[in-house]
Amino acid sequence: MPDPVSILPAALDLQVISKRFGSVEALSQVSLQVRSGSVHALLGENGAGKTTLMRIAFGMIRPDAGTIRINGVQKKLRAPADAIAAGIGMVHQHFMLAQAMTVAENVVLGGWGKYSVRAAADTVRKLGEKTGLLLDPFAKVSSLPVAAQQRLEIIKALAHKARILILDEPTAVLAPAEARDLLLQIRTLAANGTSVVLITHKLRDAQQVADDVSVLRHGKLILTGAMVDQTEASLVTAMLGTRAELITSGDQGAPATGTPIMSLQNVGVVQRNGVRRLQGIDFEVRGGEIVGVAALEGGATHLLRILAGRYKPTEGVARIPSRVGFIPEDRVRDALVAGFSLYENVALLEGGRRNGRMPWSRIKDETAALLTSFDVRAADINVPAQNLSGGNQQKLVLARELDNNPPALVAENPTRGLDIQSAAAIHQRLRNARENGCAIVFYSSDIEELVSLADRVVVVREGRVRPVAKDADAIGAALLGTSSSQTGFAE
Amino acid sequence: MMDALGTFLDGAVRTATPLAFAALGETVVERAGIINIGLEGSIICGALGGLIASAAHGTGFAFVMAGLSGTAVALLFAIFVTLLRSNQIITGTAISLFSLGLTGTLYRQMYGPAGAALTISTMHSSPLPFLSRIPLFGQAFFSQPPITYLLYGIVPAIWWWLYRTHAGLALRAVGENPEAAITAGISGRRVQFGAILFGGFMGGLAGGTLVIAQAGTFAEGMSAGRGFIAIAIVVLGRWRPVAVAFAALLFGGANALQYLFQAMGWSVPYQIFLALPYVLTLCGLAGIAGRVHAPASLGKWVETS
Amino acid sequence: MSGLALLALISDMLVRATPLIFTGLAVAVAFQAGVLNIGAEGQFLVGAAMATTVSLQLGPALGFTVIPIALLAGSAAGALWAWIAAELRSRFHVLEVISTIMLNFVAVYLISFLVRGPLQEPSHVYPQTSSIISSARLPLILPETRLHIGFLIAVAAGVTGWWLLRNTAGGFRLRLTGANPSAAFSAGLIDTERTARNAFLISGALAGLAGSVEVHGVTFALYENLSPGYGYTAIAVALLAGLNPLGVIITGILFGALETGASALQRDAGIPATLVSVIEALIILAVLAAEPLRARGLLRRDVTSVVQAAEPG
């Protein structure tokens, strides 16, 4: 039980933590305390800053400002090793396990001297008995199901004597039954004196298990306090904010008619390692409409790439035009060649499609025109793409993909990291393309953007695609997995 | 017939010894996630270093110097790859070329192209008292120069170090998932640096064996691609020390086939035997493709600090 | 130095530069596509062997067409030698660095077998072939020197290569594949595997042509040790030129001068010519140390030979 009276210092005390990545303010003067032996839920949407804050607590990132106190003692954390020494353990969203090695080996990693297989196995077994997180010490990690790998991550942290355990979206990869087990185990851990920070966007999980809660939005702390003092409504409001002013009021546009340009029938994806990503997708996009896709981090990746024709589904039929513009999220890795000039980057698709001479002078003229019409700020068309700022790179990619009016366009977070003006310009471009009959699908982790730009919105959740009302609360709720009579979308 | 077989096995072990040294060293390096194509350089430098030291002071010292020569070359590689983050493949190739050229130049400078090449008396075989009497295998495995017995000891030692010490565990983790290693508090850069130096020492020992225990003299380019063959042996042995040692023996056998053929009176163009190890390497690498699990981060650019 | 002596010196330099330019081009083309072809040495030898065989066997019958046919055959043989490594790479994920080096050694022994066996000169005394007939020999550019038109062919190849890479879609695709295969696929919808393979074959053909030209312009016969490591020097030539084909012409001549000078030094001052290998390797290292970014860009795909292709997302 967490101590009811805060006489004792908090297990983890973060004071006025701020962090900036380039021009983006990821965290702005966030302060929160985790009481000893409590479960503290850290809520917020994608990009709110939850993971960043906890990575700072784990020593993976250095804050620009602020202090960290552990059990009342101020600590300077230069690397995860320091955090581990101070008793903090973290289980990340993407597991940090050596797949080819055994459970026991992963658990004792970082030790010294001789390595006794038996001693390591005993450690695993003992911890398993104490916490209920049972594992076979000799199993190879790659053979373990995801839920077991997660248990392993927790055991790892505990084996390093963590008194404060940070879990980053632990139930995101679990089936409902496994998630229930994990939540029970978290309560057991807290009962045994471990303080647990649960980073999650799942309201329900937080309500079930947390003693205290803090909510972040856009890098700022919105509320913090005991869970009993909060209601579902107050938490949702804190996470999503009041109805913010939309960037520009989007017109609805005429309802789309005509034959579908992109159509998926019973499409599914099972990866090589057996993990299922999509199933039973029936989805159509017509010319002249913009469809917004809402999803959790990484959830829409396969769907988007299937729509863009860059990935083949393992099940079902996908009918896609031969030319689909694609704006991937990681523009530097997937859309641009950093060291090549702007005009060469504009010519990428043309280079792929034609044979014979490259009409460079025409391409150069076209590029110059594109730079002007899309307001891409660059010295000239000859500079390497890596010289451009992120926003201008994005505008360039959009310009290239929209050039020559493709029948369809797929975009992944097209305005992420851009300033308001650039974002508005891109939105206008997309609307123009829609007027020209283009079928547009875009994914955004910003719900407000979905509402303002899309004609209709769908949600990708647990591998399925479902339509949802074009309403910020409805979309947010659908992603969070809550049910609400107002949303028209029941869990 | 038995005689021929005996000679064949003996030849196999002889050929395998330097290959095994180099391959075992490279196994440790690759387990840490680095592919050192400059191994060839360590071998040839070890050969020259061993020769010169042997002329000066005798075999034990010579082997140590051979190892250190190999380490010196590997140090250059380590600096480029772990500190400057240069491309591992091109750096390794450059280091091999550099070492081949350097040793050739130095040798000619010191002993002249047409002058009397430096020769040393080679290390004699020391038959082990009881074991060498075992028919066939005794002659092959236990009637070898002492350096081979060192090899027999190194194989289990490396195995033990990799699988039964925390240091070995840490090294394997760096090769599998550097992020996992970092978050466990391990310095990937330091681990890789140390592994490369060790691999260099082993490569140097391989070169030393060629000269001190076998040829008795140096010849330009005498490493003859053994560094690259060793890399293939590591793959064939699936990055496991004991299997790597056996794979080396397999290669030795392929090379020693020529003696068997000779004894049998089968005449085959001798170039086939010379080419056999390389062809074997190609077949071996192709044959196991897709069924082998390399250290997951082998050769990749990863932030390890 | 008298005019004649200077002319002889320059012609020697350019003769020495010719195989370096060809193999340098081979390496540059491959590297630009992200293919680390270290096998120019073996492709050179195999090309030389094929071209020599054609000239020896068919020379008298072919009349004046023997030169282009022999050179073509040699290029094809070089491409074939590269094809082995290309297949191993695409089908079995074998690192081309290792496979091409292995094939280099096999090529050496193949030549050894040929010149001591089936192709050996009639008296069976020397490990070499007969000399090719005069109609198969490349004409000279400058009489009284050794400078043959092979040099001009090399320069032409360099200029053509530069032009093709710069101005054709195929050349553009090749450069994209090496620079960023992910974007090449995602944004350009380019079949990067096929592009890389074609680059590999072209590279082999260039190296094979190098060997053919060397035999038909300089040595006029096939023998062991035909190449003093041209294929390896080519790496330094290509890297120093920034993988630019026009630059390769220049660095090829530079290294030709270096090696000619080294031979002279060895003759006159007793300094081993192998020192040049050291200098060449140091040049590679210097280029690597000075441009860590470019070196990183040269190898975008995973180095591991047995890793499966990554899933998107």
**Cβ C169–A350 below 8 Å, yes or no?**
yes
Which pLDDT value is given to residue B300? Answer: 64
Question: What one-character-per-residue DSSP string does A400-460 give?
Answer: HHHTT--SEEEEESTTTT--HHHHHHHHHHHHHHHHTT-EEEEE-S-HHHHHHH-SEEEEE
Quickly tell me which residue has 């001798």 as its tokens.
B270
Q: Which of residues 213-272 of B touch C (CB under 8 A)?
A: 220, 224-225, 228-229, 231-232, 235, 269, 271-272
Mean pLDDT by 10 residues, chain A (491 residues): 62 90 83 92 82 90 91 88 89 84 89 83 88 86 86 88 90 75 90 91 85 90 91 79 41 60 89 78 90 83 90 89 89 87 91 88 93 86 86 88 89 81 83 90 86 91 85 75 38 30
Q: Is A260 helix (H, G, I), strand (E, B) or coil?
A: strand
Burial of A25 (0-12, 13-18, 19+ CB in 10 A): middle
Q: What is the pLDDT along chain C (313 residues), one digit of tens a residue?
A: 678 888 888 899 999 999 999 999 999 999 999 999 999 999 999 999 999 999 999 888 888 889 999 999 999 999 999 999 999 999 888 888 889 989 999 999 999 999 999 999 888 888 999 898 888 899 998 888 889 999 999 999 999 999 999 999 999 999 999 999 889 988 888 889 999 999 999 999 999 999 999 999 999 999 998 998 899 889 889 988 989 999 999 999 999 998 888 877 777 777 776 777 788 888 888 887 876 544 444 433 332 221 222 222 2
| pLDDT exceeds cutoff 90 at B59 | no
| pLDDT exceeds cutoff 80 at B17 | yes
Which pLDDT value is given to residue C1? Answer: 63
Helix orientation angle between C192-214 and C150-167, rounded to the nearest 10 degrees:
170
Nearest CA among C128, C118, C29 for reference residue C82: C29
Report whether A291 contacts A457 (CB < 8 A).
yes
Task: Give the confidence band of B238 by pLDDT, cuts at 50, 70, 90.
Answer: confident
Kindly provide the ipTM of the predicted complex, given to two decimals. Answer: 0.82
Amino acid of residue C293 = L
| pLDDT exceeds cutoff 90 at B48 | yes
- The size of the A-C interface in CB pairs under 8 A is 83
**Cβ C169–A358 below 8 Å, yes or no?**
yes
User: Which member of A328, A339, A358 has the closest CB to residue C186?
Assistant: A328
| Residues whose CB is less than 8 angstroms from the CB of residue B52 and which lie 6 or more positions away in sequence, other chains included | B65, B110, B118
Burial of C12 (0-12, 13-18, 19+ CB in 10 A): buried
Q: Tell which wins on pLDDT, B46 or A419.
A: B46
Measured between alpha carbons, how far is C101 from C42 in angstroms, rounded to an integer? 8
Chain C residues touching B285 at Cβ < 8 A: 88, 92, 94-95, 98-99, 305
Nearest CA among A414, A321, A373, A429 for reference residue C189: A321
Is pTM beyond 0.90 here?
no
Q: Is C299 helix (H, G, I), strand (E, B) or coil?
A: coil
Nearest CA among A48, A55, A194, A176 for reference residue A130: A194
- What's the pLDDT tens digit per position in B131-167? 777 777 777 888 888 889 999 999 999 999 999 999 9
Q: Which residues on adjacent β-strands are paired with residue A409?
A: A325, A440
What's the mean per-residue pLDDT of chain B?
Answer: 86
Q: Is B160 an 8 Å CB contact of chain A?
A: no
- φ/ψ region of C143 (left if φ > 0, alpha if ψ in -120 to 50, else beta) reads beta
Number of domains chain C contains: 1
Quickly tell me which residue has 């195929």 as its tokens.
C170
| pLDDT exceeds cutoff 80 at B236 | yes
Amino acid of residue A20 = R
Measured between alpha carbons, how far is A175 from C267 in angstroms, rounded to an integer? 79
How many residues comprise chain C? 313
CATH number of domain containing C301: 1.10.3470
Q: Quick one: closest CA in B to C297, which residue?
A: B87
Which pLDDT value is given to residue B199? Answer: 97
- Alpha-carbon dihedral angle through residues A313, A316, A319, A325, given to the nearest 10 degrees: -20
Find chains touching chain C: ≥3 CB pairs under 8 Å.
A, B
Q: What residue numbers bound the domain in which C144 lies? A: 3-309
Q: Which residues on adjacent β-strands are paired with residue A315?
A: A268
- What totals of helices (H) and strands (E) does chain A contain, helices first? 17, 19
Q: Which residues on adjacent β-strands are paired with residue A167?
A: A91, A198
- What's the pLDDT tens digit per position in A26-82? 899 999 999 999 999 999 876 688 888 998 999 888 999 999 999 888 989 988 888
Which pLDDT value is given to residue A425? Answer: 82
Domains and CATH numbers, chain B: 2-106+143-287 (1.10.3470)
Which pLDDT value is given to residue A481? Answer: 61
- What's the pLDDT tens digit per position in B67-104? 999 999 999 999 999 888 887 888 888 899 899 889 98
- Alpha-carbon dihedral angle through residues A183, A188, A191, A193, given to the nearest 10 degrees: -100
- What's the pLDDT tens digit per position in B166-197? 999 999 999 988 888 887 778 889 999 999 99
φ and ψ at A94, to 5 degrees? -100, 120
Q: Which of residues 174-193 of C touch A (CB under 8 A)?
A: 175-176, 179-180, 182-190
Measured between alpha carbons, how far is B224 from B247 in angstroms, rounded to an integer? 18
What's the mean per-residue pLDDT of chain A?
Answer: 84
The stretches of A273-413 forming alpha helices (DSSP H) are 301-307, 331-334, 342-346, 348-353, 360-373, 390-402
Q: How many CB atoms lie within 10 A of CB C107?
A: 26
**Cβ A111–B169 below 8 Å, yes or no?**
yes
Tell me the CB-side half-sphere exposure of residue A91, using CA atoms within 13 A.
Answer: 32
